[in-house]
Amino acid sequence: MLNFDERVGNRQDVSYPPTPVPQWYRDAKVGLMIHWGIYSIPAWAVTSDEHFSPAEEYAFHRYAEWYGNTVRIPGSPTALLHRARYGQRSYEDLVDIWQIRDDAVANMVNLAVRAGARYVVPTTKHHDGLCLWNTQTTDFSTVKRGPGVDIISQCGQAVRQAGLRLGLYFSGALDWHASNFGPITSDEELFAFRRNDPEFAQYAATQLRELIDIYHPDYIWNDIDWPDGGKGPELYGLSALFTQYFQTVPNGVINDRWGVPAQGVLTREYRDVLGVMDRPWEAVRGLGKSFGYNADEDESVMLSGPDLVRYLVDVVAKNGNLLINIGPKADGTVPDIQQQSLEYMGQWLRVFGEGIYGTRPWGPGLLDGCYFTCSTGADDVVYVLYEPDREVVLPEKLRDRKIIPLGSGDGMQWPIVVAKLVD
């Protein structure tokens, strides 16, 4: 896939407001993303580990939430499966058979709490253009079609009642419902097959303004760029949108996927980083190979609870947050296999969270197989995070510290344990 994490436009004639990353975000460390939409109904994508050529990879896309694009590629496995299951019913018309449980949103937020997440980021509109809130811009929404429910209002209320921060995912430049392009079949078309005209830029900006005005999100997580027609000094342009957002939410934060120089948190999707990053960043991925629910994924492709803990520790010690994603079933039920890994991480955090929440990397972050963090960036309290059977050799600077193991009496066999080093 094309690396669009660092793709930045070169507009020099536009002034953007500062986009600092607030302390609440840097202290939070763990967020839960939710991909839930029409794609949750067919719940399918290729799971093969086969390496496909660039000409084939979009027809064999592994992201289930891309079903609305893959189904339009003639001869793709998705197109063949869709015809066998649904006949002549289009992907968009599946929304009319979408039914959700009354307690679905509350259960997802409760799972976020049990997982130890400090913020929740539901999808408000994915690339298929379906809006999950009561927008005034289109009838293609979960309020006026299918479920008949304002999912984002439910989510915002539940998240705030749980004492968590609310983030909102928004697909800025890709909207297949409002576009007439053919299916995306290459990395080049990923950015070429999107509307950049001023009319669509205003459409996207109006939707984002609605989300800001209604929900006051603590975090705006944009995906795959922004219409070029809205990157200038226009009243509906990104500069004006950012100004409004930070006036409305002074401690708000944005990510880096806007295609303009204004960037907040750096995003790394299904990617590892080698060492401590100078800027705050966020690792974002699903528990399996997909963000949307794929009914064909099993334990063999899922992060287990111990694997998820190891991944979290690696991310945090390198100056990152982990935004881990769940893909609920169409009715809003979160599959047991996903719940188990998240609840395991939450159990681990209840024992060792002192070495995670509110910390910053210490020194190189990773040294001789051990991870190091420190409290709010100070050296008075340093944490060493390590595999329990590993012999720990502390850096010379820390060898005179008192070692206080955390959770030493809980009797559990954890993949990573934590000790506090104090003067």
Q: What is the pLDDT of residues 242-260, one digit of tens each?
A: 999 999 999 999 999 999 9
The single-letter code of the amino acid at 236 is Y
* pLDDT at residue number 70: 98
Helix 151-161, helix 104-115: angle, nearest 10: 40
Task: Please name the helix (run of DSSP H) or strand (run of DSSP E) that holds residue 366, with its range, or none.
Answer: strand 359-367
| Cβ neighbours of residue 223 closer than 8 Å, sequence gap 6 or more | 127, 169, 170, 171, 172, 174, 257
- How far is the C-alpha of 202 from the C-alpha of 106, rounded, in Å? 33
Q: Which residues pair with 366 in a beta bridge?
A: 371
* pLDDT at residue number 377: 64
312: nearest Cα among 70, 19, 30, 14: 30
* pLDDT at residue number 1: 34
Q: Where are the alpha helices (DSSP H) in 184-259?
A: 187-192, 198-215, 238-248
Phi, psi of 107 (to 5 degrees): -65, -35
- How far is the C-alpha of 400 from the C-alpha of 421, rounded, in Å? 9
* pLDDT at residue number 408: 76
* pLDDT at residue number 376: 81
| Cβ neighbours of residue 307 closer than 8 Å, sequence gap 6 or more | 341, 415
Q: Walk me through the domains of the chain, giving residue ranges and CATH numbers.
A: 23-354 (3.20.20.80), 359-422 (no CATH)
- How far is the C-alpha of 57 from the C-alpha of 61, rounded, in Å? 6
Two tokens at 10?
A: 């070169």
Q: Residue ranges of the chain with pLDDT lower than 70?
A: 1-12, 377
